[in-house]
Chains A and B, each alone.
Chain A
Amino acid sequence: MAVKKGQDLPETNHVIRHVTSGKLRRDDARNILGVRWDGLQPKAHEGLSVNWLEFHDGAMVDKVKAAFDLMSSKRNFKRGDVLAKMNVGTTRHAAESSGKKIRVVYAPIDGNHGHAEIRNMPSEDEGFLDIIASTIQVDDCISCKPLLELKTTIASGEDPPIDA
């Protein structure tokens, strides 16, 4: 982990974004079809808050669990929410294809040292945000439900399921 605060993350790395249930594209059976543009809408004049997965060691599943634990200190997750996994390079290239240059930078904060930001995301440009959201495939939408259940199991002192 040679990246310092404020530096761009490597193109091969990944970040995850907490997307609440109401901002997911779903079919009429509530199956997830993707992330809507407003799931990636930053607050005005702010970067989009994400967590850097390669900040953590281990397999991808371990990175996600570790990132989820860090994010939990700042965010209130619900079972219907997802962690949307985004490849840094894919995200940058999608932005460039529509003439915009974004930066994905390491931006640690108190209580969440794996925090990162996607900067220069125009908060009111639905079309652009939709292009970025379209890079997130259904398989990239990681359900928060098992992560919450695992956390509850561990907090209760029970042994977690082997496959968790």
Chain B
Amino acid sequence: MTFALAVKDWSSSPLEFNAPLLSRMGVPTTHTAGALASIYNENRHHVRSNGDTDQETNVTSIFERQSLAAKLYAAKQSAKQYASVFGSRISQEWRKNLFWQLDELLSEEEWDEDNAILDLESWKSFLTGMFVIRPAKRPGIGITENGNVVASWGNVSEHLDMEFRPGNEARWVLSAIVDAQFERSAESGSVLRLLERLAPYSPERWFGC
């Protein structure tokens, strides 16, 4: 397999100058960066089998300089990789669901070009938050314009939207019926103290635990 060789060439010259090499690999030169990213993903084990991690690093950095598709791909891979490391604390089924949500959120077809790409530090805060809360009801996730993860629970009338910021910080907006009264709140604080901060609102209504 010549993929590792192609990877090496990509690291030394722009992708568009590698048409002959891609052609030798059987890759149509009309492929988008997204398609190339998929090919890389499929052949990733060949790179690894060479034991040359520098090449893999180069590939990542090259992709980051390439199109939106490649940036989204890199963001997804980094987030999934981190979740997998962290993931012994998250069930396999939930991890699978999170990866699926990430794929949906960071798909080239659906991405809003005005948004920042997913911030890995925010993703880390989100995973820490999930470990702290351990919600039985899993959240739907979104991404803010500045690339932070937002986890949502509840419905239109009783909801909790929590933005996870780098450094284990969170900002949340909630709506809940407490003692027959509608209560709304917008607050921020440490991810590590989420349960204490949310306790007055009976957070089990959202988390199911």
Interface residues of A (CB under 8 A from B): 20-31, 33-34, 36-38, 76, 78-80, 125-127, 130-131, 134, 136-138
The B105-152 residues at the A interface (CB cut-off 8 A) are 105, 109-113, 115, 138-145, 150, 152
Q: Choose one: A34, A38, A134, A136; the contact of B145 (CB below 8 Å).
A: A38
Bound CA–CA A37/B185 (angstroms): 12
Besides the known contacts A25-B152, A31-B140, A80-B104, 10 further A-B residue pairs in the complex with CB atoms under 8 A apart? A21-B142, A22-B105, A22-B144, A23-B144, A25-B159, A30-B101, A38-B145, A78-B109, A79-B110, A134-B159
Chain B, residue nearest A39 (CB): B142
Write the nearest CB–CB distance from B119 to chain A, whole angstroms: 13
* Interchain CB contact under 8 A, B143 and A22: yes
Q: Which residues of B contact A125 (CB under 8 A)?
A: 186
Closest 9 CB pairs of A and B: A26-B140, A127-B186, A28-B138, A126-B186, A25-B152, A20-B112, A34-B156, A80-B110, A27-B140
The B159-189 residues at the A interface (CB cut-off 8 A) are 159, 161, 171, 173, 175, 184-186
* Interchain CB contact under 8 A, B112 and A78: yes
Q: A20-B112, A76-B113, A127-B185 are in contact. Are A25 and B157 (CB under 8 A)?
A: no
Q: Does B49 contact A (CB under 8 A)?
A: no
Q: A22-B142, A22-B143 are in contact. Are A79 and B159 (CB under 8 A)?
A: no
Chain B, residue nearest A33 (CB): B155
* Interchain CB contact under 8 A, A33 and B152: yes
* Interchain CB contact under 8 A, A127 and B152: no
15 A-B pairs with C-beta separation under 8 A: A21-B105, A21-B112, A25-B159, A25-B161, A27-B152, A28-B97, A28-B101, A28-B140, A29-B140, A30-B101, A36-B152, A76-B113, A130-B175, A134-B157, A134-B159
Q: Choose one: A24, A127, A130; the contact of B142 (CB below 8 Å).
A: A24
Q: A28-B140, A80-B110 are in contact. Are A22 and B115 (CB under 8 A)?
A: yes
* Interchain CB contact under 8 A, B140 and A30: yes
Q: Does B154 contact A (CB under 8 A)?
A: yes
* Interchain CB contact under 8 A, B144 and A33: no
Q: Which residues of A contact B141 (CB under 8 A)?
A: 26
